[in-house]
Amino acid sequence: LCRLMDSYNSELPYFETAFLAIVEYCNNKNHNALDNDNKGWKTIPNALKGRVIQDDSQFMLSIGLFAKISEDVRCEIYVLPPEDGSIFMDLLSQDML
C-alpha cells in the first residue's frame, strides 16, 4: 500500500476525519481466517497515517470491515469523508461498488 501511494503521480487527498472501508471478496475455498482479529487489515490504517489522515488520533478514522462472497477474490480499500459513509453502505448493500 505504501509503494502504491508513493507511486501515485498526483497529490493524495488529506482528510481531517475519514471513513476507511475494507471490503474482502472471498469464496468458500479461501476464507480461512473467519475472525477479523486474525487478518492483516490493521496495517492499512497504519500506512495511511501521516499521508491521508493525521497520525495517532483515535477520533480521525472510522473503520468498516466487510466480507462478500465472490469467486473474484480481492480486497478493495476505500477512504472517504465520513459523511459519505451512508452512500458507501447503500452501494455496498446493492453490490454496486
pLDDT recorded at residue 57: 77
What confidence tier does 75 reach under pLDDT thresholds 50, 70, 90?
very high
pLDDT of residue 56: 76
Confidence at 91, pLDDT banded by 50, 70, 90 = very high
Whole-model pTM: value is 0.87
CA distance 95 to 2: 28
Task: Identify whether the C-beta of residue 52 lies closer than 8 Å to the C-beta of residue 16.
Answer: no
Which residue's entry shows cell 447503500? 90
State how far the Cα of 79 lies from the Cα of 27, in Å rounded to an integer: 24
pLDDT 10s digits, 22-69: 999 988 887 766 677 767 888 999 999 999 999 877 889 999 999 898
